Amino acid sequence: MKHALTIGWLYPDLMSTYGDRGNVIALEKRCGWRDIATTLVPIGQDTPSAKIQTLDLLFGGGAQDREQGLVMKDLYKKRDVILQHIEQMKPALFVCGAPQLMGKYYEPSIGKRIEGLGIFDITTRHPGQSSERLIGNTAAEVNWDGLGEKDHGSTTIIGFENHGGRTFLGKDAKPFAYVLEGFGNNGEDKTEGVMYKNAIGCYFHGPLLPKNPEIADWIIKKALEIKYQEKIELAFLDDSLEKKAHDTIVERLGISV
């Protein structure tokens, strides 16, 4: 095997809701089918910074408020090494609860504000237990320009969201996508998720990557290009089944693309 990637997964036992582990499986499978070796590193309390420095790609899934509070106690200790990963342009994907913790703060429905790592210029507030949760199937148009892919054609991503937190982008934050169906970051401004360098935060469970293989491949390609410092063309995979599933949902949601 010519290429190999090391994938880190933040707190798999505390942060993996609504099928988020499918993102890791999709990355492993899509690499394996192309003869790219992968090593999965679960990251927990005992994982030393030196190990995190060896990662080529980082993933963090969703969590309920209680778990987010538990995770955060440890996550502060890993701030520098996670920031370094992202500043080095290595890709990362954070879903739902994870980007909330990578932002400036998250105010849960009960209890004190959780100060985040401040890597994304976003803030999130849960308006309280009596307020409506933002739940349902969702679709959005990827902000390829923001991802540095100026000439990329349009891509509709599909997923499922379930969050109480309302996220607002700061002036330095770019949205990952624009809502076509569903609530997105806050149910008001049509933004979905956030991006910084090659790190993506989003509210798309479902999970995101098997349902939207183009995003999985973008992440894999970036990880390889940063690691090997060369232009990478990923081998073609037959995604006709994935496309069919994707298009069925797009049709069911009544979105014209």
* List of residues contacting ligand GLN (CB under 6 A): 17, 62-65, 68, 96-97, 126, 162-165
* Min CB(201)–ligand GLN separation in Å: 11
Alpha carbons within 13 A on the beta-carbon side of 217: 14
> For residue 200, which amino acid is it?
I
Q: Which is nearer to ligand GLN, 62 or 210 (CB)?
A: 62
DSSP element (H, E) containing 231: none
User: Is residue 48 a contact partner of residue 81, using CB atoms and an 8 Å limit?
Assistant: no
Q: Which is nearer to ligand GLN, 62 or 206 (CB)?
A: 62
Q: What is the distance between the alpha carbons of residues 58 and 214, in angstroms, rounded to a whole number?
A: 17
For tokens 């806050």, the residue is 186
* Min CB(145)–ligand GLN separation in Å: 27
Instruction: State which residue has the least CB distance to ligand GLN.
Output: 62
Active-site entry in 85, 163, 205, 246: 205
Q: Is 202 a catalytic residue?
A: no
Q: Which is nearer to ligand GLN, 100 or 143 (CB)?
A: 100
Q: What is the distance between the alpha carbons of residues 148 and 133, in angstroms, rounded to a whole number?
A: 33
Active-site entry in 85, 96, 202, 246: 96
Q: Is 3 a catalytic residue?
A: no
Residue 88: how many other CB atoms lie within 10 Å: 11
Q: Which is nearer to ligand GLN, 73 or 243 (CB)?
A: 73
User: Is residue 68 a contact partner of residue 35, using CB atoms and an 8 Å limit?
Assistant: no
* Min CB(219)–ligand GLN separation in Å: 19
123 has which bridge partners? 105, 168
* Min CB(17)–ligand GLN separation in Å: 5
Active site positions, annotated? 96, 205
